[in-house]
Chain A
Amino acid sequence: MADSQILWTESFRPKNLGQVVGNEDAVVELRDWFDSWSPTAKKKVAILHGPAGTGKTSSVIALANERQYELVEMNASDSRNKAAIMRLAGSSAREGTIVNGAKGKRILLIDEVDGIAGREDRGGVKSLVDVIREAAVPIICTANEAYSPKLKALRKIAKVIAYRPVHPEYIFKILKKIAREEKITIPEDNLQFLANNAGGDMRSAINDFQGMALQLKSGKATDIELLKPYRDQTKNLQSALTELFNANDYLKGKKAIDGLKIKYDELLLWVFENAYLHTSEEKLAEVYTTLADADLYLGRIMRRQSWGLLKYFFDLVSGGVAVAIDKPKKSAQHVFPQKIAMYAQTMFTRAITKSISANLAEKIHVSQRSARTDSLYLVQQVLNSNVGEAAKMVDWLELDDNQVKSLLEKPESLRKIRQVVNAYETERIKIQTSMSDLQHSSFDRPGDDWSAILKDYEIKKEQKLEEEKRRKEEEKQRKDEARKAAKAKKKAEAKAKKEKEKAEQVKEEPKKKEKKAQTSLDQYFS
């Protein structure tokens, strides 16, 4: 099947969920959700979220394949209005198609749901939620960021499953597998390099590899030359930084970054990350003040769009730093900016913290920033105190499982908390239905007097409460009586037993005596 026209990202898609690599936890969650799905399930939709190329769509395709469901996809390019979705997911879709029979059961995949039309405060997502409530088939959405405020309403009825960047080792394994099946001989080093450079994006790594393989086949490059375009970039930066830190005069420093292809803010971060390794403690302040000054220019440029200032930025980052540095190391491997790495690592937790702060800010009438800095610690404290209070807090803030988990010190208490929250919810639904009954019954009355209705409701409520109280008391009484009766019975039984035992003892005693006499006789004779 060595057809060069087919994209490997398509032909090597996982055939079943077991083949989806790098996000095993997510796959398990997806499978569990799917197995417990029903049209009345509480979490009727799954949102798979995570960066590009981590296997979200692949998992859904694999799932459909594995369970022999027909997969219907809706992309951002399709029209995604209510009618279109209902046509694909409504009750007519439940029984399967005539052509395919029962095999034609469907899963609906809505790709890139965060791109759905509609402003935050208008219907877009809301109508999707309505549709999902009515849908008769499982619906799975993918999103780059499920915790964006736009998707809040959707999250409430959704199981949110997070996909993380794929570890380079997994990417390497897949690339090796493709090389084997496509019969391509290529040094493993090259594959390892591609895997490491992909930033956890399996798709881009496979695409790069396919591009490389095409070059290799057409004889346009040898396997050593293949990586040159990739390596050049990073190699340039590495050597430019070495040159800069070793420059020790202004002009040489400026020259070091000449012709470097890198964005200015990234350059600043690279220098910022590595400069202190080449500086004595005495000069540290000078180096970092220079960098801070360079950064100041960047801020001004962004703020006022005065790009003419950019030259001063470059002067300070290169020449300025070169002059201040006093302990250059000749052969140093410069490390990747921690800031970028940390942002990538904490993407999920940050998004979750942000969404919690947004919920909280809404409840307590403050900005999200001050909710996070002034009140979030308190929420966390309450969540870790006792289950009852924690559940009330979760219920109040309408937090979902991932949000709660991120605040818990012991993630295992999540289950208990959720149970209590669910109990609250049922209680609330009860109250609401009883209230709506009340409304309907009095709606037609001419000249509604709402204060009377309100009073009426209060009275009814009180009556209900009293009735319940009475019922409970009666029940208690009944139970008490039953318990008393049982106790009396037990007592009587015990008494009878005791007497019986006594009687037996009395019976046995003469026997014992006899026996005793016998033994003493025996002893005597022996």
Chain B
Amino acid sequence: MIERKDSITQKVRNLQVGYKQMLWAEKYRPRLLKDIINQQEIKNRLKGFIDASTMPHLLFAGPPGTGKTSTALVLINELLSDFDVFGRKEDSLQTNVPYLELNASDERGINVVRERIKNFAHLMAINAPFRVIVLDEADSMTSDAQHALRRTMEKYSSTCRFILICNYSSKIIEPIQSRCAVFRFAPLSKKDTKKYLQNIFKTEKIAITPEAADAIIYVSEGDLRRATNILQSAAISGKEISEDDIYKATGKAQPQEIRKMIKYAITGAFKESRKLLLELIIKQGLSAQDILKQIHRETTVMTDIDDRTKVEMIKMIGEIDFRLTEGSNPEIQLSALLAHLVGLQLE
């Protein structure tokens, strides 16, 4: 009874502090299964689990911003109806809360994951049919860690169910996949994105030109979180949003410095280019993968190099991407790429 009371007061508190969701991506996160955009087939299957109030281990795979985490949260919220998933987080440390959210890319060292997962999974759930662990970005786990996880999943399956979330199901080892019901989230269509955005336009009373709305849909590539972030960024000024504002907001998400760094390199200013690279990685904390992704994008549209060199560049970018996964130093690997760019303008 006391737990139940706690969960209800928690819900009341959430009502009280409704203004607190400051990022729209979070504010407009679906709270009910029926609010999940598209993914009709997935919703039908999950509805079955809710009706039977049980579920197997689940694996959600799909591109970013298609509703994987949201679906996991609403599913838990409906299955474990005594507990409120939205709004609180620190309470998950209490032993009586039957679910745990972990992000595999944040938990450094698989030992932490293993220890925390085991400690959580082996206890019986109170006031709930079972405990649930949501393991986000599960594809960033090494295969060793995944093998360890596989045993845990089996051993404690009577007390605990897993929801693994990843972008690529191929990065999850076969034995885990075979223990899970796999759900593949399709990229969202333009129509779906539009429907979702229009709800925000209306609720937040945003004035926006139709061209700008189309621009958001175009640049977000079916990623709802990205779309919402861009929209919020463009809406901060409070004026009517034009197409131009959207592209500016997109630019804020991708630092101009990367383009500047490439410019330096192809004009032979290696020293400046390298310094900028260090700043991006160390001061701004950009990941090498993000930098590489944008260099890749820029290379594709670059006009001052011929196609043959372009292909050479792509090969090199791919090689570096692979090397980074092998544990190499990003600034040294990327510097080699910059040095190549310096060489290009001489030919």
Identify the A interface with B (CB < 8 A): 121, 268, 272, 276, 281-282, 284-285, 287-289, 291-292, 295-296, 298-300, 302-303, 338-339, 342-343, 346, 349-350, 353-354, 358, 361-369, 372-375, 377-379, 381-382, 385, 389, 392-393, 395-397, 428, 431-432, 435, 439, 448, 450, 453-454, 457
Contact = CB atoms under 8 A, between A and B. Distances in A.
A439 B105 CA distance: 41
Contacts of B304: none
Contact of B101 (A350, A365, A454): A365
Given A285-B336, A369-B105, A379-B23, A121 B116 contact: yes
Contact of B346 (A268, A281, A431): A281
Contacts of A367: 103-106, 136-137
B323 interface: yes
Contacts of A377: 233, 252-253
A285 B283 contact: no
B263 to A, nearest CB: 16
A298 B346 contact: no
B275 interface: yes
Nearest to B230: A378
B16 A431 contact: yes
Nearest to A268: B332
Contact of A450 (B5, B286, B329): B5
B184 to A, nearest CB: 20
Interface of B: 1, 4-5, 8-9, 12-13, 16-17, 19-23, 25-26, 29, 69, 73, 89, 93, 101, 103-106, 116, 136-137, 225-226, 229, 232-233, 236-237, 252-253, 268, 270-271, 274-275, 278-279, 282-283, 285-287, 290, 320, 323, 326-329, 331-333, 335-336, 338-340, 342-343, 346
Given A350-B283, A385-B237, 8 more contacts: A281-B343, A339-B282, A363-B26, A365-B101, A367-B136, A374-B253, A375-B23, A378-B23
B8 A285 contact: no
A396 B12 CA distance: 17
6 interchain residue pairs of minimum CB distance: A299-B327, A292-B336, A288-B339, A299-B328, A288-B336, A285-B343
Nearest to A273: B274
A454 B236 CA distance: 36
B103 A366 contact: yes
Report whether over half of chain A's contact residues are helix, strand or loop; otherwise say mixed.
helix
A49 B1 CA distance: 44
A282 B283 contact: no
Contact of A378 (B103, B106, B232): B232
B285 A292 contact: no
A396 B274 contact: no
27 contacts: A121-B93, A276-B271, A281-B270, A281-B343, A285-B340, A285-B342, A292-B335, A339-B331, A342-B278, A342-B279, A343-B282, A346-B283, A365-B29, A366-B69, A367-B104, A368-B105, A373-B287, A378-B23, A381-B233, A385-B237, A393-B22, A396-B20, A396-B22, A435-B12, A448-B1, A450-B4, A457-B12
A465 to B, nearest CB: 12
A368 B106 contact: yes
Contact of B335 (A282, A288, A302, A372): A288
A364 B23 contact: yes
Contacts of A350: 282-283, 285
B329 A298 contact: yes
B285 A285 contact: no
A367 B137 CA distance: 8
A382 B237 CA distance: 10
A298 B328 contact: yes
